[in-house]
Amino acid sequence: MPSIVGPKMATTVSGVKLKGVNAEFFRTLMGRIEKEPQIIRDMYAFTKSEGAEENHAQYTSMPAWEIWEYGDPRSWRALGEVTLNVANNRWQWGMKWDREDRLDDRIGDLMKIANKAAAKYVTLRREVLIQMMTGNSSTRLLQAVPNCYDGESFFRSTANSLGGTTGNTITGKGFATPGAVIDSIFEGIETFLSFTDTAGEQYWYDEDCGMENIRFFVGARNLKVWNEVLKSTVIPAGIGNTSIVDNPLLNNKQAAQVGNFYFTPAITDNHIRMFNVSDPMVKPFMHQDREAPQSFEQKAENGSDIGIEYGKEALAFLARFGSSPIEPRTGVLISNT
């Protein structure tokens, strides 16, 4: 009697592989790093680290030429030097899920999460940057914003070693009109030109302070008036000008570029933060890399406790880097209420 053979009972394992989720993170990470806005890179001096912390030498005075009369001995002038200590912080992201959730994942949810995690790692650098600019506290970012090499905060209202009379914080004209904003910007330029080193020598010169060398960080709440500032060929009468004038940010050889401005809701005040990046050797902030992101997998197949005992899987990421303000003469805070 012929046997009746029914359909085979096949078990199909669909979903995604854990290594695929891991690979998606690093694939996205490389692509996002390449697309990081140039204005963020302009703000940092990048360096490598080989330990838990690094000491960096920082000069407080610059070389200055002087006359050397015949018959006189050469004059030797020491450059002021201090040490900046930058500690590396440990950063992490990870998630756990049930093994079956991954096997039954048909729409790529875990891939999407890995993609977003990689994107957030790249934006982490600018989140820390904004925190160092604003001094805001955060339970997720730096527990305390480091001081500059002179032991003080990046923005300060007293001259101290910066020269000038008001430190690098001045009172602005507000955001009532484009003219008021432009007036504040040029007062910021004047402040840059007032800075001196610890020997009393001028720190920035006119050619260093053109608009093409200045980067602006502004709260997204003031985006509308900034668009008017950047797009209007003329500025109507108002605060900062008594009659219609050509827009000085657009109608000169040192015109401001749209890419020199960064708008973010992370800045919740009305202040304008200006940074001079004309000197590639002198940056406002430091980013020192100790360990690039690396991943750790946990699942039953590799003996993980959470996999064996609880049927869970996990993917965890770790990175280490340090961040610090460096040179306060590279910044001007225009304070607006």
pLDDT tens per residue, the chain (337 residues)?
A: 444 444 443 333 345 677 888 889 999 999 999 999 999 999 999 999 999 999 998 888 888 889 999 999 998 887 878 889 999 999 999 988 888 877 787 657 888 888 999 999 999 999 999 999 999 989 999 999 999 988 899 999 886 667 666 789 999 988 877 788 888 988 999 999 999 888 888 999 999 998 889 999 999 998 888 887 877 766 655 545 556 667 666 655 455 565 788 999 999 999 999 999 999 999 999 999 999 999 988 776 666 666 666 678 888 999 999 999 999 999 999 999 8
Tell me how far apart the alpha carbons of residues 51 and 321 are, in angstroms, rounded to a whole number: 10
pLDDT of res. 8: 40
Gap between the Cα atoms of 267 and 155, Å rounded: 15
Pairing of strands 53-59, 81-87: antiparallel
- pLDDT attached to residue 162: 76
> Residue 67: CB partners within 8 Å, gap ≥ 6?
none
Domains of the chain from N-terminus onward: 18-61+82-335 (3.90.1690)
Q: Six-digit token pair at 299?
A: 């699942």
C-alpha to C-alpha distance for 234 and 221, rounded to whole angstroms: 23
The two tokens of residue 100 are 């079956």
Tokens representing 68 are: 């050397």
Q: Which H/E stretch holds residue 82?
A: strand 81-87
214 pairs with which residues across the strands?
Answer: 276
